[in-house]
């Protein structure tokens, strides 16, 4: 199509000539300043000047995968938010959890959601789970400049593999580093400042073949253990009724668990810990 005919259609030529399925590539050509990784970053570290999100955990169960996150964001030694959401549905079959610079991370999640939806509309099919994981790695790599100035984004990605072979668990988890390195995890994973404590908890309580309910309790308990030792991770807040956000992804798709269900699990864990301490 020529520029003249394109002009008559009301769209610039770039909107009509490109046939690729990557929305990020399209944005890089038409409006590169809108990409997080293309913006000018300061020459000094600004890590303490922006809210940071922690902690995210994920675990597989018999038939899918779960991901959960606490609700606290910090800015240096201050609590900048008590009710931030860190886990999102990436599409109908996958979820993403954010750790790191909260503002950039949320913007990256929104761009990633559009990226997957754009691919599906252009190609007429859902991207494979490996393809989704690789696309996210490329977006993280594009943020490397900001990461070097303290504005790192290190998400956790999980999903239900529609192409999983028979007898292979369809729930899969992928972790990343600030350079865009992509690593598939086995069974469970965690990221964020409380990830060490959460992983140690998961190591003791997770096992292959867990039911969805048992794996949910394992996930919430790992976040509780992380909050017990990491000041940047928020524990269950019974006064404000703030509890972890948990998503389940299985053959029915990605679903956020009701707050009342997660609250009941967290309350049970707190009561059991309190009783154990009293007996001591």
Question: What distance in Å separates the CA atoms of residue 94 and residue 173, rounded to the nearest whole number?
Answer: 10
54 is an active site residue: yes
Contact, 73 vs 52, CB < 8 A? yes
**Residue 84's closest CA among 49, 113, 55, 115?**
55
Nearest to 224 by CA among 99, 116, 72: 72
Query: What tokens does 24 get?
Result: 């990020």
Q: Which is the catalytic residue, given 24, 54, 55, 205?
A: 54
Q: List the 52-53 sheet strands across, edge first.
A: 78-81, 73-75, 52-53, 100-101
Q: What is the DSSP string of 211-259?
A: -HHHHHHHHHHHHHHHHHH-TTS---BTTTTB--EEEEEETTEEEEPPH
**Nearest 10 degrees: Cα torsion 112, 114, 118, 124:** 80
Report how far residue 25's alpha carbon sits from residue 27's, in angstroms, rounded to the nearest whole number.
Answer: 5
* Phi, psi for residue 81 in degrees, rounded to 5: -155, 140
Nearest to 178, CA basis, from 153, 151, 156, 195: 153
Residues 6+ apart with CB under 8 A from 59: 65, 66, 173, 187, 188, 189, 202, 206, 210, 215, 218, 219, 222
Helix and strand totals (H; E) in the chain = 9, 14
What residues are annotated to the active site? 54
């Amino acid at each position: 199509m020529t520029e003249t005919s394109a002009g008559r259609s009301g769209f610039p030529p770039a909107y009509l000539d490109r046939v690729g399925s990557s929305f990020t590539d399209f944005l890089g050509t038409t409006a590169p300043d809108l990409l997080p990784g293309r913006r000018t970053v300061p020459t000094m570290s600004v890590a303490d000047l922006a809210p940071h999100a922690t902690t995210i955990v994920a675990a597989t169960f018999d038939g899918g995968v779960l991901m959960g996150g606490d609700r606290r964001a910090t800015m240096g030694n201050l609590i900048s938010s008590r009710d931030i959401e860190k886990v999102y549905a990436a599409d109908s079959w996958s979820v993403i959890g954010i750790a790191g610079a909260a503002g950039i991370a949320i913007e990256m999640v929104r761009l990633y959601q559009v990226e997957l939806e754009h691919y599906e509309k252009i190609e007429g099919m859902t991207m494979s789970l490996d393809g989704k994981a690789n696309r996210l790695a490329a977006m993280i790599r594009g943020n490397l400049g900001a990461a070097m100035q303290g504005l790192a984004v290190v998400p956790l990605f999980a999903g239900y593999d529609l192409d999983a072979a028979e007898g292979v668990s369809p729930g899969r988890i992928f972790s990343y580093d600030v350079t865009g390195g992509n690593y598939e995890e086995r069974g469970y994973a965690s990221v964020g400042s409380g990830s060490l404590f959460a992983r140690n908890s998961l190591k003791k309580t997770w096992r292959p073949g867990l039911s969805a309910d048992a794996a949910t309790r394992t996930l919430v308990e790992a976040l509780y253990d992380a909050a017990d030792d990491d000041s940047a991770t928020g524990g269950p807040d019974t006064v404000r009724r703030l509890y972890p956000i948990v998503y389940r992804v299985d053959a029915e798709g990605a679903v956020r668990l009701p707050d009342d269900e997660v609250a009941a699990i967290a309350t049970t864990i707190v009561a059991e810990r309190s009783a154990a301490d009293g007996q001591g």
